[in-house]
């Protein structure tokens, strides 16, 4: 699903960019790598909780990077994508 969203341009990559996107739009789904730093994880989870945005922390940096075809991805969000409404999207 992340790969398709990346091809459509419906993703935001990186902790700072995702934090900004959280404040700008409510229709996001955030993926954080299991090996993300504690400080960044806390900032993102606190902000996501405030804006009631779901988060997934089950994938590693390598898995997220592979899914979107970029290196060293620790935080990625799907933004307002029709893919989020697809019946197979089961975060």
CB 63 within 8 A of CB 76: no
pLDDT per residue, tens digit, the chain (91 aa), is 778 788 888 899 999 999 999 988 778 899 999 999 999 999 999 999 999 888 999 999 999 999 999 999 999 999 875 555 554 555 5
Domain ranges of the chain: 2-85
Tell me, what's the pLDDT at 1? 74
DSSP letters, 28-74, are: EEEEE-TT--HHHHHHHHHHHHHTT--EE--S-HHHHHHHHT-SS--
Tell me, what's the pLDDT at 73? 95
CATH, range 2-85: 3.30.1330.30
| pLDDT per position as a tens digit, 19-32 | 999 988 778 899 99
Q: pTM for this structure? A: 0.85
Tell me, what's the pLDDT at 36? 94
């Amino acid at each position: 699903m992340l790969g398709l969203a990346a091809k459509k341009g419906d993703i935001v990559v990186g902790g700072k960019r995702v934090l900004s996107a959280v404040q700008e739009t409510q229709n996001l789904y955030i993926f954080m790598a299991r090996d993300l730093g504690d400080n960044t994880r806390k900032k993102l989870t606190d902000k996501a909780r405030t804006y009631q945005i779901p988060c997934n922390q089950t994938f590693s940096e390598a898995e997220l990077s592979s899914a979107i075809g970029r290196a060293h991805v620790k935080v990625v969000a799907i933004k307002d994508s029709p893919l989020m409404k697809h019946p197979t999207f089961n975060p």
